[in-house]
Structure 1
Amino acid sequence: MIREKLNISKPDTARVNLLIELGKYYLNKPGELTNDLDSALLFNRQARGLGSSLMYNAGIGECIILESRIYREKGDKPKAMELTQSALQFAIQHRLLKETADAYLAFCDFYGIENNDLAERIKYTERAIRLYERGGFKKEEAGALKSLGDYYHLKADNSKALKLLEQSLAVYQAIHFKEVQGVYDLLGYLYARTGNDVLSLKYGLMAVKTAREVRDTSMQLCTIYNRLAITYNGLKKYDQAYLYYQKALDVALRYKETNAIQQIKFNQIILLMGIHKPQQSLATLIDVVKKYPPKDNTRLTITALSLFAKIYMDMGQLPKAKRFVDSLLYYYPDFGKEFGYAPFVNEPIINYYFLSSQFAKAYPYLKNNDSLARMRHNLTTIATNEFNWARTDSALGKPVSALLHYKKYKITSDSIKDLDLKKQLSILQFQFDVDNKDRDILLLKQKGQLQQNRINNETVLRNVVIGGLVIVMIFAGLVYSRYNVKNKSNILLTIKQTKINNQNELLLKLLQEKEWLLKEIHHRVKNNLQIVISLLNTQSAYLENEVALDAIRNSQHRMQTMSLIHQKLYQSENLSTIDMAVYIRELVEYLSDSFGRDKNVIMNIKVSPVKLDVSQAVPLGLILNEAISNAIKYAFKGTTKGKIDIGLEPVGNNRYLLCVSDNGPGLPESFDLYNTGSLGMSLMQGLSQQLDGDFLLENEKGLRVCVTFKAMEF
């Protein structure tokens, strides 16, 4: 197409632009063949010569930038850098905004994606964006915003990255640019990184759909398929995940991209290991390493070593696992403390030392893994590490430390289960909404077709009337004919209306089933919590250690606090909010009964009418449980009388103040809130942060525990 235009073009600026496009085509042609790069250089020099004769400065600036990229592709980086600097000076000298911005982006190609190199990329890209915006080059601005979003994602600043990608998408949509599959792909990937699997799945599917619509068959399609597969794998939809991994692999094989083939194969192996197929995982791993050895790619090398070690340990073959663990120990000083590598390096080493009964050697790797996981708030790695720590302590005869780490493991794993449940419910809602949207589109199409039929009928009827003025007999015949047609149309309309009514009834039934399902979920959660409470009660009968008994009672109270919320939800018509006035009174009554009224403690409850979302009611209930339990147990030692005030009041601006106060002696002067071993205090602080609220202790005339938080809007 470009060559055809070139053959009929005149020696003007349009011909310069065609020659530049032809040079770019050969530069970006798959395969990086020497002949293609020579062709790109030839056409670019022709373009520069013609541009110089025409004094076409913008074209000359583009030619210098293109030549620098060709030499960089050839491997002559010094020459490429010299040309890029020359292009920047030329563009600045002739006040060419777009070409100046293009030169800044060309500088990015000379830097890597880590530490100082990444900072240089960000600096040059931000300069380019400002110039594109000044000159009104919207397409180039959107592309640079996308690149900058990708750089901030590599910097682990996901919120900034998401904001930049949303800006890029908005600019592309404003100019009706259709090839936005890359932006959708990055948005989906980042939402997966931030735990929002619904948006991750949504944007991943949009990326696939857009790529198909614009017929994108490039390596970008491989990345899109691979990331969508990762999202499905995280949602435990293994069939869809494996399908999209295979689609990604097909693209990578077509382009002979070895690194991509290795990474996708490794992802498939991780999936197979997750569904407990060690034999198939090992066979696949041996095959991929034999056909595509990682060579000098450190990340893929470490991934392969880690997978071999894990598979052999899963199969109980420790001697075979040892040589791969030894290799990981070799890499540990350089990569064991980098978050991107740490799980692949640390976890196999920890597991090997446990299985080979070398328990003490695991501690440095447990500490390092924990530090990195908490830095990135990676709940899965935190939970796995706490479990490994607990069983290592247990093996070394440290029951107190083992119990502490096991508690942390349970808390984290419960959080993961809650997140998984929310993900599954969100995905169900997402699929339900998609189905509804498809039905709405179908109904709109049907209505549009009916409207078009009406318009067509009216047009025909008008023509019949006009024709009837000429020939009365023909008019009478046509009127009779049209009457029959209209009668049939009415019958068809009645049939279609009946179908629409049936579909509406089906939608109503689906909505009722959804509400029933949610109530059933809350009912089962409440029953499961009650079973756990009963189990703990049974366990306590076999314990004589007062500390353990106290811990079990505290756990029972916390579970009852959550159970009461789920009971309220399934008994209520509203499945998303809790009436806090009723809930708090029932909770106080339960705690009073649990601890007994022998202390003659007076409970003053003053709660304003407020309904809260379940995501706020649960942490608020747990804070109340801890504060009231502590007051009843500790505030009135040595006395039989006391008073506890419980209040929940608005303080303006949609904010509420929850306070629990007693008239006991208060906390000792040496008490340090931020350096306490009390699980209750730590729990209240953590739950306050979950509410995005402020936690306060006042230690005058008794103890006053307060939390100020903002209620969610519905």
Structure 2
Amino acid sequence: MKLLFILTIIWFTQLSVLGQSTTSSKLNTQLFALKNSKPDSSRVSILSTIADTYISLHQSQKALNYLKNLEAQFPSKNIAQSISLYSRMLAAAMQLKRDEEAKQYADKLKQITEKSGTITLQQIPAYKALIPYYLATRQFTETDKYLTIHNELNKASHNTAGLAENNLWHFKLDSAQGNHLAALAHFRSYAALKDSVLEEAKRKQIASLDAQYHTQKKDKQLKDQELNIALLKKQDQLQRNHLKQVHLTQNITIGGAAVLFMLSGVIYSRYRLKQIANKKLQAQQDEINHKNEALVELAQQKDILLEEKEWLIKEIHHRVKNNLQIVISLLNTQSAYLNDDRAHAAIRESQHRMQSIAFIHQKLYQSESRALIEAHIYINELIDYLSQSFDIGRRICFEKNLTDLELDVSRAVPIGLILNEAITNSIKYAFPNEIDGCISISLCCVEENSFRLSISDNGVGLPDDFEMAKCRSLGMNLMRGLCKQIGSSLILKNDNGVSISVDFKDEKLLKPNLN
């Protein structure tokens, strides 16, 4: 039973990994709309949307500032507006882990729902905010109370998505209380309801695709009919020309019968040969038309197969990226139960390594080629991720000189891991006591089909007695092994900081982007 529960936890985690699609351009659009909005109702709606966007981007402090500004400028006029405001403020405070402030907002939501005296559908957002809060603060009695109310409201409104969410919270509550059988039952209910929601969306998508297919099929039939009409007109014109030629021949034959009587047999013979030739030409034309139709059908089948192949490759990369995110989440969960700093550090380094690989598969399923990724974009994203992970702020700057290259996945994974190890070591050890510094990353072409990756810093450098051959750290062994994997060697220099260089060459798997 414990094994079955653990498998359920893993499945739940996989379902919970969602790609974050909120972009800065969307936020900029909302901010522009806020500047140009005039009625108070429009500004309230836009401010709420901006706060939601900041919360989804995990910029909760900005979201909380917007919501407090909204509370000061536009006091809530009804229960729905109050619930909407304090639900968002509670979510932002929970993200910031401000327990006292979160408790204040939770108490306000609780007072609003209890003050109304009746339970209505407009209170659902309040329960959706209170339930995660009480779960997070392990107030299981309150959690169970509001889960019951939330479940009844969703049943009354026939809200399948809301019932699925309710079963998911029940699963988390039972798991936290150690009631694994009940947790498994609620998770099964959640999965079934979630599948029904997804199935309905899938049916709508299939119906849309079927309509597009029939429309395209009708267009093709009309084009074929137009082509057939043109061919028939051409054949009719040929037949008319042929009849004119026959009539001319007959007139000449009648007029010159006395003179051309001896030649009538020859003319008749030529006429018969022409008919036979026309029949042969017609048969050849029919065969050509048949082959053309077969070629068109084969081309359509080929396009369908290629589309299916592209979709499958994209799905594989997407699943690999999601599975890596699951492992990262599991490591993050495990670290919460560890008290050893070295164990925390080891788990964090493992998360960074897996994230560098996950970025590669994310780029592959987002790219058009599905086989190559743009190195300079990938390296920039990896640098941004490590900067945010170590929270270095502006203390350490990055200088980048990156050639526009496309990397095959068999080259991108080792190079990404080498970059992760080198940058991580520089951030952790090159600048002790939080001194300022700079890390330089270079990817350039040194000669035809030969490239060099360099990572250097201007930090304190290595000890004078350091010998790379005797170093047995995991990071150094990993970089040496990865260099061998791409047919290269690791070059380390200790001069006004540490410099690491890797030269690699492969004409088949690495191609410069010439666009």
TM-score range, shorter chain: 0.3 to 0.5
- The normalised TM-score by structure 2 is 0.46
- The normalised TM-score by structure 1 is 0.33
Select the structure with the greater relative contact order (CA < 8 A; seq sep ≥ 6). 2
Bigger radius of gyration among the two: 2
